[in-house]
Amino acid sequence: MITPAYMKLMAAYNEWQNHSLYAAASSLSDDERRKDRGAFFASIHGTLSHVLWGDRAWLSRFTDSPAPDEAIGESASMIDDWEILRAERDKTDAQILAWADAVSGGWLEQDLTWVSAAAKREFTMPRWMLVTHFFNHQTHHRGQVHAMLTAAGAKPDDTDIPFMPDIESVL
C-alpha cells in the first residue's frame, strides 16, 4: 500500500514535470504542438489535454471537484487554446498538491466505488490502488509527450525523481 508521503512526492513530481513539458512545448509553434505524431492522442497538445482530462476525472472521484464535461473520446480536444490549457494545468496541479497534502493513511485504506462512463459499469477498488493508477497514468502519457517533444527538437528537463529540484522539501 502507498502512503500519504508517496502521494506528496508524486504530486510534487507531477507539477515539476508538467512545468518542464509545458515550457518545452511552448518553444514550439502551435502547428508543431498539434502535429499528429502517431501517439494514442495524436499530438503533444492532444496528449497534454488528455492528461488534464484524466486528472480531473480522477480528482472528481477522490474529492468534491467537478468531473470534466467531455467524454474520454473528446479528452484530446477538451481545451483548444494553448494558453488556457497551460493555465488550467497549473490550477489542477495546485489542486493535486493540496489534495495530496490533506490525505490521511486512513483515507487510502478505504475502497472507492464509482461508475466508469468508458466501461459503462460500476467498480469498487482500494483507493490506494486507484491513487497509484492516477499518478502512473500521468507518468505514462508525460513520457509520450517527452518523446514527442524531443523528436520535435524541444528540450524538456530530466524525468528522474531523484533529480527533482527541492526534492528534500517533500521527503
Distance CA 25, CA 90 (A): 15
Distance CA 126, CA 70 (A): 26
**Residue 76 grid cell:** 484530446
pLDDT score recorded for residue 45: 98
Q: C-alpha angle with apex 71: 145 to 100, nearest 5 degrees?
A: 60
Q: What is the mean pLDDT of residues 6-32?
A: 98
pLDDT score recorded for residue 165: 93
* Phi, psi values for residue 125, rounded to 5°: -145, 160
Structural domains in the chain, sorted by start: 4-157 (1.20.120.450)
| Contact of 82 with 74, CB cutoff 8 Å | no
Distance CA 163, CA 5 (A): 18
pTM of the model: 0.96
pLDDT, tens only, 135-169? 999 999 999 999 999 999 999 999 999 999 999 99
